[in-house]
Structure 1
Amino acid sequence: MSKSSPYIDNLSAADKQAGFDYQFYVFLLKCLEIKTGQIIGYEEKDDVHIEYNNVTTYIQVKHTIASVKNGSRPNLTQKDTDLWKTISNWVNIINDPNSKRNSGTDQIKFIDGSEFILISNKSFSDTNTVIDIVDKFNSAKKTIRDVRTILNMLITEIDPGKYSEVDKYILSFTGQNDAWLSKFLSKLSFTLEENNIIKTVKNQIKERYMIQSDAQADDVFNCLFSNLKTDIYNHVSSGNRSINFTYDDVKGFTAACLYRINKPMVRTYQTLDLPENLEDQNFIKQLIDMGDIHTGDTETIVQYTRFKVLMAQNMKDWEQNHELLPTSKNAFIDNCILKWKNIHTKHHRPPFGDALTEDKLRKAGLDCIDEIRLIELSVSEVSLDSMLSNGQFYSLSDELKIGWAHDWKTRYFIDE
């Protein structure tokens, strides 16, 4: 007997892992759709279950990595193992004698307080007579007798000894009485062709929390995924097999993840576009006029310009990605200008009875620059390092919103 090759084994493992991940993504989606009062369970009563207002929704999740010629997923067929094994599982849950549901009355009462959903990335097929007859029965176009006729026609094998597993599942299902079948079919639904479940989850994040940026939605998705996974792992590792989350539980996870994206993310850039004529920049002119740097000091001028451009690029990205609200940006700029104003006033206030000479004024301007450079700013509770902080003040100086000399406004032709 030949052994499976490692490559084949890896394919099998990959298929299973994709199925587990798909199931978790469905669970994550249901968590994002949660309402007040609901409880979402994972691998407890079913793959996923939802409890709300004395009704339990049982969700079975089926996934395939197979594809057909056009690249789409294969159809969920009328004798699909995924379909009938799922229904068989639900039959066993409903008729479970260990749960004291031996009588038809108890079983129907259980179904009445339940809903059953099969979610799969398999494609819908017009030839799937099972889904078709369920839809027609629920829209009163077919009777329970019609349902039995269609389902019994699915079994083509005459010899019971040669029945397939699916044949046995069908017989077990059709062996229930009319009242049982009618009630169950009224609670049965299918969600197929859910191919890009990750995109669906991210779209739900954007819609529910009014997030416009794809990058921010990605951050929330990754945060929720990792934290929920970790919490479930810790839960199971402690010996507790009951995994369910209330609305408040989910709210706690999402609040923590949303808090992260509501702060600007400081970025570094491999390349920065610097202006061509560096010494023509207003802030460089001011520094040269004060004697802080000298004409031709290219190394220092490039360094200071990089600080300015780095901060400006971060500010642009924060705005575009909605990481910094306009009100927060304005408050940040106003605070920077106030810090500068206090320091500028401090150094340009002459001692009592003393006159400010040109040398003293120059020194006052340089002292102002030196003290400003020691400030480390923060924006929306995010600390900025010295490069970005200096860059912010250089940007304001370049926009001629602040200056260093005592007469900087008139010197650089700025009206009050």
Structure 2
Amino acid sequence: MTTKQNFTDKTSNDSKEIGFHYQYYYFIYRLLNLKSGQSVGLEVKDDVHTDLDNDTQLLFQLKHTVKKNTAGNTIALTELDDDLWKTLHNWAKIISDAIAKRQRKPEQIKFIQRSEFHLITNKTESSKNKFLKTLDEFKNSTKSFYELREHIESIGTKTKNEEIQKYINTVLRLDNEVLSLFLGKVHLQLALEDLHALIKQSIKEKMVPHTSVDIVFERLDSNIRTDNYINIKHGEKIVLSFDSFYNRYRSIFSSSREPLQLNKPFVPAYPEDVFAQTFVKQLVAINAVKLEDLERAFELTTQRLKIARFLEDWHQSGELVADEIEAFHKDAKGKWRNSFEHWCEDCLDHETVAKAKSLLHELRRIEFSIGTSTLNTELSNGELYHLSDENLIGWHRDWKIL
């Protein structure tokens, strides 16, 4: 049974809410594709606009429908579509806006020359829409402006819809040179339905792991929606430059990185003589490893080999980049330097071994960080042994000459 809707129901149903969200999510999509020096606005110059860094502005009108055809698909954009002509009418009014001091032809031409006009809709393409075909032919120089204008005039005479007639008349009242330039800069993007998919693809293209894309999308959506509400409440326009977008929301992207896997399977390839390793020799020199304790030597060697292998694997897989690994080594050496100066630099001869062991004990308790992850004790200690084996750090006061 079909339930009839009264006028209030028809004008305040879910389609208006969906239309608002369609506009809002397109705004987010444009934000995610900003370049340095550009900005995006919501309901400022148009439904959505983008200011480029070369004094060019892109004006976007967003039109969404929930109507379906008999096959259950979204309806097509017809030649007499109210959304089509209302959009062209709106742009014609913007072009000739007297309040903006564009009532004269030179100002109108100047405005159009630095503008593009984009109609974005989920309505599909119609093979019967001769206006769009004629518009394309005009833009491709296969039909003249006067043929296009004549076709627009014929549309106005054959429709009985007074609103559409009014819209068409407003467009045709533009000076021919102005109208020709304007129509040449009109662009349509049809059948744009799934803005969420576009947004998520843009997020992924910012090097966000695919497993974190949904989380970034949800956090970005929530925070931008909240900030927009606050701006509107304070009477401020919703315009974000690349820099303001970056500064305000970059933490959402940086925090999306997955933690490094610290417990991956690992099969070490041991050296032929574990006691011949530089780091083991250093530990033996301070009595931290005994020459007869082969098991302990293998245990510490495993830790050294493991961190070296994991760093290489994380780098090759793109989980870490070279400067992060460099910063990790630098930080570990910095922490060693601070402790070494405290414990060993000025120690007396008879204190050398005891102080060295205190230094080693102190550093073994530190869990180092790399990227956005904190390493466990095994890998952190492995880093110490790796640096020691490379002769970059040591424990004994005289480790460089041992």
Shorter-chain TM-score above 0.5: yes
In the other structure, the counterpart of 1:250 is 242
Q: Is this contact kept in 1: 2:65–2:74, CA < 8 A?
A: yes
In the other structure, the counterpart of 1:188 is 186
Q: What do the CA deviations read for 1:54-112 (whole angstroms, capped 9, x no partner)?
A: 65442212234566799975433222222122112122323445445556666556545
| Distance 1:100-1:290 versus aligned 2 partners, 3 A rule | closer
> Quick one: which amino acid aligns to residue 49 of structure 1?
H
Q: Is this contact kept in 1: 2:134–2:148, CA < 8 A?
A: yes
TM-superposed deviation, 1:21 = 3.0
- Give distance in 2, aligned partners of 1:365 and 1:272: 30
TM-superposed deviation, 1:198 = 4.7
- Give distance in 1, aligned partners of 2:203 and 2:141: 37
| Distance 1:70-1:317 versus aligned 2 partners, 3 A rule | farther
Q: Is this contact kept in 2: 1:44–1:243, CA < 8 A?
A: yes
- Give distance in 2, aligned partners of 1:46 and 1:290: 73
Q: Is this contact kept in 1: 2:367–2:377, CA < 8 A?
A: yes
In the other structure, the counterpart of 2:124 is 123
In the other structure, the counterpart of 2:280 is none
Q: Is this contact kept in 2: 1:27–1:42, CA < 8 A?
A: no
How many pairs does the alignment contain? 370
> Quick one: which amino acid aligns to residue 244 of structure 1?
V
**Which blocks of at least 5 consecutive residues in structure 2 are unaligned?**
269-273, 275-282, 294-298, 397-401
How much is the aligned-residue C-alpha RMSD, in angstroms?
A: 5.6
TM-superposed deviation, 1:150 = 2.4
Question: Could you tell me which of 376, 388, 391 is aligned with 1:388?
Answer: 376
TM-superposed deviation, 1:239 = 1.7
| Distance 1:334-1:56 versus aligned 2 partners, 3 A rule | closer
Q: Is this contact kept in 1: 2:204–2:210, CA < 8 A?
A: no
More moved, 212-221 vs 129-138: 212-221
The alignment's TM-score, normalised by the length of structure 2, stands at 0.64
- Give distance in 2, aligned partners of 1:350 and 1:181: 87
TM-superposed deviation, 1:400 = 9.7
Q: Secondary structure at the match of 2:62?
A: strand
TM-superposed deviation, 1:177 = 5.0
Q: What do the CA deviations read for 1:98-133 (whole angstroms, capped 9, x no partner)?
A: 445556666556545543221234333443222211
- Give distance in 2, aligned partners of 1:196 and 1:108: 35
1:48 aligns with 2:60: no
- Give distance in 2, aligned partners of 1:104 and 1:337: 69
TM-superposed deviation, 1:143 = 2.5
Q: Secondary structure at the match of 1:142?
A: coil
Pairs within 5 Å for 1:233-248:
233-240=229-236, 242-245=237-240
TM-superposed deviation, 1:329 = 1.1
Q: Secondary structure at the match of 1:118?
A: strand
Q: Is this contact kept in 1: 2:360–2:395, CA < 8 A?
A: no
> Quick one: which amino acid aligns to residue 76 of structure 2?
N
In the other structure, the counterpart of 2:279 is none
| Distance 1:154-1:10 versus aligned 2 partners, 3 A rule | closer
| Distance 1:275-1:4 versus aligned 2 partners, 3 A rule | farther
Pairs within 5 Å for 1:53-202:
56-64=57-65, 73-99=74-100, 101-102=102-103, 107=108, 110-112=111-113, 114-154=115-155, 160=160, 163=161, 165-201=163-199
- Give distance in 2, aligned partners of 1:4 and 1:230: 33
> Quick one: which amino acid aligns to residue 91 of structure 1?
A
More moved, 229-238 vs 108-117: 108-117
| Distance 1:148-1:266 versus aligned 2 partners, 3 A rule | closer
Q: Is this contact kept in 2: 1:25–1:198, CA < 8 A?
A: no
> Quick one: which amino acid aligns to residue 188 of structure 1?
V
- Give distance in 1, aligned partners of 2:267 and 2:158: 82
- Give distance in 1, aligned partners of 2:110 and 2:331: 65
TM-superposed deviation, 1:253 = 2.7
- Give distance in 2, aligned partners of 1:343 and 1:99: 68
> Quick one: which amino acid aligns to residue 143 of structure 2?
K
In the other structure, the counterpart of 1:411 is none
| Distance 1:56-1:190 versus aligned 2 partners, 3 A rule | same
TM-superposed deviation, 1:251 = 1.8
Pairs within 5 Å for 1:332-343:
332-333=328-329, 335-336=331-332
- Give distance in 1, aligned partners of 2:99 and 2:330: 69
**Which blocks of at least 5 consecutive residues in structure 1 are unaligned?**
295-300, 407-415
- Give distance in 1, aligned partners of 2:331 and 2:106: 71
> Quick one: which amino acid aligns to residue 150 of structure 1?
H
In the other structure, the counterpart of 1:267 is 259
| Distance 1:340-1:184 versus aligned 2 partners, 3 A rule | closer
Question: Could you tell me which of 319, 323, 329 is aligned with 2:325?
Answer: 329
Q: Is this contact kept in 2: 1:290–1:404, CA < 8 A?
A: no
TM-superposed deviation, 1:43 = 0.7
Q: What do the CA deviations read for 1:236-269 (whole angstroms, capped 9, x no partner)?
A: 21123x3334xxx422432565577568957387
Q: Secondary structure at the match of 1:154?
A: helix
- Give distance in 1, aligned partners of 2:73 and 2:35: 27
1:320 aligns with 2:317: yes
- Give distance in 2, aligned partners of 1:266 and 1:142: 55
1:22 aligns with 2:30: no
